[in-house]
Amino acid sequence: MKKTLNDIKDLINKADCILIGAGSGLSSSAGLEYSGKNFESNYKDFIDKYNFEDLYSASFYPFNTQEEKWAFWARLIKLNRFNKEPLKLYCDIYNLVKDKEYFVITTNVDGQFEKAGFNKENIFATQGDYVYLQCEKDCHNKLYYNEELVEKWLVNTNDCKIPSDLVMKCPICKGNMDMNLRKDAYFVQDENWYKQDKRYSEFLDRNKNKNVLLLEFGVGFNTPGIIRFPFEQMILDNKNWTLARFNKDTRSFYNLEDRIIEIQEDIKKFIEEKEI
């Protein structure tokens, strides 16, 4: 039978606690700029210069100079992270679970859970966050909050470049800096990363005999080993746990279809459904 928002609310009410797993499909549905909706207007000068076709591939472009690289990233960070208003879909999800004990594991790097009101102590963002820079070669274990620098880069961008004297160098090895986004072997996991990893394990241990509802939003097959497959394993291991999978593709690795509540329609449309 087709599930409704009220069915999900019932499951939330009955659960002892909620584990949320989120992937890029959630932010796309929520309307984040990264989905490319306004790509052509927001990045026209970069598109003209580098023939970018979409934002995702543009974010892997090997810029020749640091001046070009940071001009591009400053705009991307600003649009995706420092626009202050949280996306409504994240706020709606927060309102659904805020009175319960909850934990969030996400591969998204846009900070939307924190902005929407989720306690950051209960969020594990495994793949980084747009707000941090790191040494490009992982020479030390520290992240650098970039808001002030991004603002400077934005106002001083000219012809898709920032001035050379605004390029940040690694304070330790004097090499280049990079975004703290997991894309190669040099991703920095700082003290806070390990702390949140531990809090996630503790949440799972503490609740293993309880009635846990797993809400999986928009987790595809780019990195299924972080959320999608482990969530299925948890359902296998814990008979009292329930998984609601919000995704067009609801197939399961372990043939668990009868144990998974499948919601294939658009997440935003589903969550915003009027109560009957």
Q: How far is the CB of 127 from Zn ion (least distance, A)?
A: 21
Q: How far is the CB of 106 from Zn ion (least distance, A)?
A: 27
Q: How far is the CB of 142 from Zn ion (least distance, A)?
A: 9
Q: Cα–Cα distances in Å, from 234 out to 151, 208, 243?
A: 43, 9, 9
Q: φ, ψ for residue 122 (rounded to 5)?
A: -110, 25
Burial of residue 274 (CB within 10 Å: 0-12, 13-18, 19+) is: exposed
Virtual CA dihedral for 261, 267, 269, 273, nearest 10 degrees? 50
The window from 85-93, 174-182, 195-203, 236-244 that contacts Zn ion (CB under 5 A) reads 174-182
Task: Check the CA dihedral 226-228-234-237 and report its sign.
Answer: negative
140/198 with CB nearer Zn ion: 140
List 5, 47, 139, 168, residue binding Zn ion (CB under 5 A) = 139
Does 173 interact with Zn ion (rule: CB under 5 A)? Answer: yes
List 18, 170, 214, 219, residue binding Zn ion (CB under 5 A) = 170
Q: How far is the CB of 169 from Zn ion (least distance, A)?
A: 8
Helix/strand/coil percent split, the chain, to 5: 40, 20, 40
Beta bridge partners of 243: 214, 260
The window from 65-73, 151-159, 171-179, 254-262 that contacts Zn ion (CB under 5 A) reads 171-179
Does 168 interact with Zn ion (rule: CB under 5 A)? Answer: no
Does 188 interact with Zn ion (rule: CB under 5 A)? Answer: no
Helices (H), the chain: 5-14, 24-30, 39-42, 44-50, 55-58, 66-77, 88-97, 112-116, 147-155, 191-206, 228-237, 267-271
144/229 with CB nearer Zn ion: 144
List 93, 109, 135, 143, residue binding Zn ion (CB under 5 A) = 135
User: What number of chain residues touch Zn ion (CB under 5 A)?
Assistant: 6
Residues forming contacts to Zn ion in the complex (CB under 5 A) are: 135, 139, 170, 172-173, 175
